[in-house]
Chains A and B, each alone.
Chain A
């Protein structure tokens, strides 16, 4: 990795000097030597004199790319923000974390839950059981695109299919029915 070692001040000063020199050349054209300056005619004639200002306006801006000049007009902090000012901003009450008042106890498992959100523990329980049911379904179907067009019923140990479950597909699960999975 190439480390460019400069002191932080001198290249900026050199850059400023170069930009300033370019600006000066643009605004005050001076021609040392043989070239005739673009002034108006020397005779006292009532003809409009061509002044250099409209020329410089019609000339296409500055040759330098706008990036280097826009440095001089970019927003930059004027003074270092003191630690007191920084602390006032960082510790302002609107930046502190607010205390949540919508936490309750889940009546099923006793864990904490937010009032408008499902209990995390109960949801994880249901999710695990659903995953096992899906594994059973996969074993029965044995591949993708084999889903039947009828409903599915999940039966646990010691349960028989009722008259309502006539044409439905039956999935067997080898465990006791969980209390939260109500049979219908």
Chain B
């Protein structure tokens, strides 16, 4: 009776590995299987805790340590792969340039990242003793996968597929100071020089 079904749609429709217990929200019926979900409202992630580290006071001769501000937004309704392109765009830019680029980008995640950056800028000025709000640059900007939900997508002829409702997190680290100059791309000459250096630094092993 398999041959009587529709041509290619049945290939996607057959999912013997979609076990029903995966579809239930974690922590509801199988408490032992989900030890790592916390029941509190705001699950404290590692990125949020990075703002709480306190360094010992600097000695008089040391150069000034630039202020670092960590900020993130969790469970954004967007794909982490699509968000990654925006994160890659603003990596290493000054905060003003990043805001300008995001304002005129057509992507949905651009609006979210712009809000996150403005929040982080405000946090920097209020809580982290940053003097000029333009004197910040983006040291790191990352995306992470949020909690996915599985739903049924109805196809024709009674077929079904399982679709994922995708969410992502966005993390950003602002550092005080002008953005670092972009490093020049590695030329063939540099690679050749490194290779020759490697050859020259070889020594004889297990010998007299």
State the A residues within 8 Å of B (CB).
1-8, 11, 14-15, 18, 67-68, 70-71, 74, 90, 95-97, 99-100, 103, 112, 114
Contact = CB atoms under 8 A, between A and B. Distances in A.
Interface stretch (B47-55, B83-91, B141-149): B83-91
B14 interface: yes
A114 B16 contact: no
B160 interface: yes
A103 B3 contact: no
Given A68-B7, A74-B8, 14 more contacts: A1-B160, A4-B13, A6-B14, A11-B14, A14-B2, A70-B7, A90-B81, A96-B88, A96-B89, A97-B86, A97-B89, A99-B89, A100-B100, A100-B104
Contacts of A114: 104
A71 B7 CA distance: 7
B154 to A, nearest CB: 9
A114 B105 CA distance: 11
Given A1-B160, A103-B100, A103-B104, A6 B85 contact: no
Interface in B12-46: 13-14, 16, 18
Contacts of A71: 7-8
Interface residues of B, number: 23
Nearest to B86: A97
Contacts of A2: 158
B179 to A, nearest CB: 13
Interface in B90-104: 100-101, 103-104
A8 B7 contact: no
A6 B14 CA distance: 7
A3 B3 CA distance: 18
A99 B101 contact: yes
A112 B100 contact: yes
A112 B14 contact: no
Contact of A11 (B2, B101, B105): B2
